Amino acid sequence: MSLQESMGFHWTAIVYALITGCLLGAGYDCLRILRIILRGRNRNSIVMDSSYLVFSGIVTYLLAIAVDFGRVRFFLLACEGIGCCVYFLTIGALTGRAANLFHRFGVWLHRQITKFFVHPVGLGIRKLVTMLSSCNKVWKNFRKKRQKSENIP
C-alpha cells in the first residue's frame, strides 16, 4: 500500500468516524429528549445511559471492523467524539431547547385543562352527590314520619 493510498484511506476513515459520531450524538439526543419529557428517576437515567454506552461501544467496534480491519485507532475514537460534540453544539442544542419548550407547553396545557374542565366537573359532581345525599336524608325522614303517622291510629 503506497503512502497516497494510505492517506486516502485515513481520510475516508475520518469522514466515516465523524458521521458515526454525529449519528451517535443524534441517538443520545433521542434519549435526552425522552429524559426531559418523562422526568424519570435516576434509575431510569442510569439504565438509559448504560444501554447507550453498550450500544455506542458496539457501533464503534463495528466501525473499526468496517474501516480499519478491527484495529481501533485513536483518531477513529477522537473523530467520533468530535462528531458527537459538533452535533451537540449545533442541532442538539436546538432539540434540547425544543424538548424543554414542548414539555413546558404540555405542563401548561395540562394545568389549563385541569383548571377549566376537571375542577368544575369535579365540583359539579361533588355538589350533585351532596344534593342527592341530602335528598336521601329528606326521603328517609319523610318515610319515618309516614310510618309513625300510619302506626298511630
Q: 69 to each of 8, 14, 73, how far by Cα in Å?
A: 16, 15, 11
- Looking at residue 91, its pLDDT comes to 87
All residue ranges of the chain with pLDDT < 50 are: 3
Burial class (CB in 10 A: 0-12, 13-18, 19+), 126: exposed
Please give the Cα distance from 61 to 84 (Å, whole number). Answer: 16
Quick check: 81 and 21 in contact, CB under 8 A?
Answer: yes
- Looking at residue 105, its pLDDT comes to 92
Quick check: 35 and 45 in contact, CB under 8 A?
Answer: yes
